[in-house]
Chains A and B, each alone.
Chain A
Amino acid sequence: MSNLIKTAEELLQSKKVNLVIGYEKGTGNKTRPAFIRRAEDAARLVFYAGKSQNLAVYILRQEVKRAGKTAFVATVPALRSMLQLASECQIKDGELIAVFVREDLETIVLEDFKSVEEFLATADTGFNPEEQELLSRLQSMTAPERFSFWTSEFEKCIKCYACRAACPMCYCHKCTTECNQPQWIAPASHPLGVMEWHLMRAMHLTGRCVNCGECATACPVAIPLNILTYSMMESMEAEFGTKPGMKADTKYALSVYKPEDKESFIL
């Protein structure tokens, strides 16, 4: 912890960055995002592995962009979000510094995309056991059983859009659900409106989701949304061999044409 504070202090004092986004103590035993602009406030920073949400969601925020050069405390999924945002041309190399906190609380400062890529090459980017269990359970269901599972989960949905708000990849200024000419997705939180929203969101995240799990954590009614978005990513990886967020220049498989692409299903 003290190393993180020292790192943040140095970054701010040397004016290398104007803002450090990290975590501070929240209510009870929660941590919450902290925005540190002055070195003397860096003492607020804390880090608990396993209680660290994906701060990449703040990278594109107008207040953060206005602050200029920024550093953020990044977990492995957050680093992948950063590279995926880079692949989508949302951030430029060098405008963001990522600070990774190791298990022994030492910090690793990654100042450019290349160093993040190198770091991620050796990192663990798989599912945790609980997620793996749920995913296996779903995959062993028949299609009607799976549909029934999701229908029952979606009954709880109140369309608060916490899932969208917490997702670093949902940065569209005007979300597809806010488009009303035509109204693609019914805004109402009745079963059809809810199903349309989550299916559409999963489609829009296919090949972009890095399984940070924030959507599921943010959901006030505990719908396991990350399983839905992540299973799309699994399909993408299986069909196209791409894994999002590992390189800063990943071309999006669904919008790139290669002569050797399969055509058997259209011809």
Chain B
Amino acid sequence: MEIERKLYKNSSPEAIVERLLKAGKKVTAPVRSGNTVDFREIKTPAEVEYNVLTTVQSAKKVAFPKVDKVVEFEVLKNNVNTLEIDFDSYPEQILFGARPCDAAGFIPLHAIFNWDYADQFFLKRYEKTTIVSFACTTNDEYCFCTSVGGNPGNTEGSDIQITRTGNSEFLIEIITPKGKTLSALFEDLLVPETEKTEKEKHLAEVPKAFDFEKVYNRLSSTFESPVWEEQAIRCLGCGACAFVCPACACFDFQDEKSLKKGARLKLWDSCGFSGFTIHTSGHNPRESQGDRWRQRVMHKFSYMPHRLQVRGCTGCGRCSRACPVDMNIKEHISQIESL
């Protein structure tokens, strides 16, 4: 479908949000809580925080929650009953105020969760999600979307994109049929473009930090390089980077049971944890933090592109902002490029 362009002449998108909520839709948007802004379900338009470059965490939880029940069971004396999860009961939902790097993050997630076996927990939720993203008019030193095939006005993965083009004007791009369906709720608030708005003029300028192709080719010969230990020496081995990342999909299964009833849960996990690959025998194929850091980078910048033809990183910089010891991935990858 060709992208439809309209204008919204108002100082803030609040009225659009009001329409969505009035229609009874479940809306998740950036909400401020003290010093941090993160995605939360909102009940009123006033809750949405617009004055922030980006949220601490990505929006992946709308389709890949941090705790998800995948099997429910009842353990009886000589039998077990398993109960089906009703995928059709997932509600329609709107992700409002994602950044282009958030919307793009669903693409590698989709590639993993649909690889040969279809994970309906992700796919059905994603199917029911309409993504309304905001193009970026500013950026900070952590952003590097342009180095990984993205840009501040990238519409990949978005159903509707909103770009601020003036104090009281926004460009509304309706990109997909899903977006078109949603836009019916606030169509009357929009006016046609009189002259073509130059979207690029209003976008942030994100300088390219490295060349993805170059890095991809470089990585195949760096497995034994000491660079991994050197870069990872300060890494503490927590899961902050993986959990805030829009493209990280690694998960754990844990069973919980109380008397007879129980469930198998799917939980976020991180390859950075020391126990991620440990065998019951005690043998750990990735024993040092350098080994684990290498896996993170290789998986995102080499293995995923090769096996699934997707990039495992959208350049949002969240990992670097969240990291307690400033493991700045843009910096690290640039260093690897010039090895």
Chain A residues packing against B (C-beta within 8 Å): 26-28, 30, 32-35, 53, 57-58, 62-63, 156, 158-162, 164-166, 174, 178, 183, 186-190, 193, 214, 217-218, 220-222
Contact = CB atoms under 8 A, between A and B. Distances in A.
B231 to A, nearest CB: 11
Contacts of A165: 236-238, 324
B236 A166 contact: yes
A190 B243 CA distance: 15
Given A162-B236, A162-B239, A222-B35, 4 more contacts: A33-B234, A57-B236, A156-B36, A217-B324
13 contacts: A26-B326, A27-B328, A156-B38, A158-B66, A159-B267, A160-B242, A164-B238, A165-B238, A187-B267, A188-B267, A217-B324, A218-B236, A222-B36
Given A160-B238, A178-B275, A222-B34, A26 B288 contact: no
B240 A63 contact: no
Contacts of B56: 220-221
Contact of A161 (B233, B239, B288): B239
Contacts of A183: 254
B331 A27 contact: yes
B68 to A, nearest CB: 10
Interface residues of B, number: 41
A63 B232 CA distance: 11
Given A63-B288, A156-B33, A158-B243, A220 B237 contact: no
Contact of A187 (B38, B142, B234, B254): B254
B238 A63 contact: no
B237 A221 contact: no
B275 A63 contact: no
B47 interface: no
Given A27-B142, A35-B233, A220 B328 contact: no
A189 B239 CA distance: 13
A28 to B, nearest CB: 6
Contacts of A160: 238-240, 242-243, 270
Nearest to A174: B275
A220 B236 contact: no
A220 B142 CA distance: 16
Q: Which 9 A-B pairs have the closest CB atoms?
A: A218-B324, A165-B238, A165-B236, A32-B326, A26-B326, A220-B322, A162-B238, A160-B239, A33-B234
Nearest to B328: A27
A189 B237 contact: no
B57 A158 contact: yes
Contacts of A26: 326, 328
Nearest to B237: A165
Interface string B48-69: 0000000011000000001100
A188 B67 contact: yes
B324 A166 contact: yes
Nearest to A19: B233
Contacts of B331: 27
A32 B325 contact: yes
B67 A190 contact: yes
Nearest to B234: A33
A189 B240 contact: no
B41 interface: no
Contacts of B244: 220
A188 B33 contact: no
Nearest to B265: A188
B92 to A, nearest CB: 24
A117 B324 CA distance: 29
Interface in B229-264: 229, 233-234, 236-240, 242-244, 252, 254, 256
B324 A187 contact: no
B67 A189 contact: yes
A183 B257 CA distance: 11
Contacts of A222: 34-36
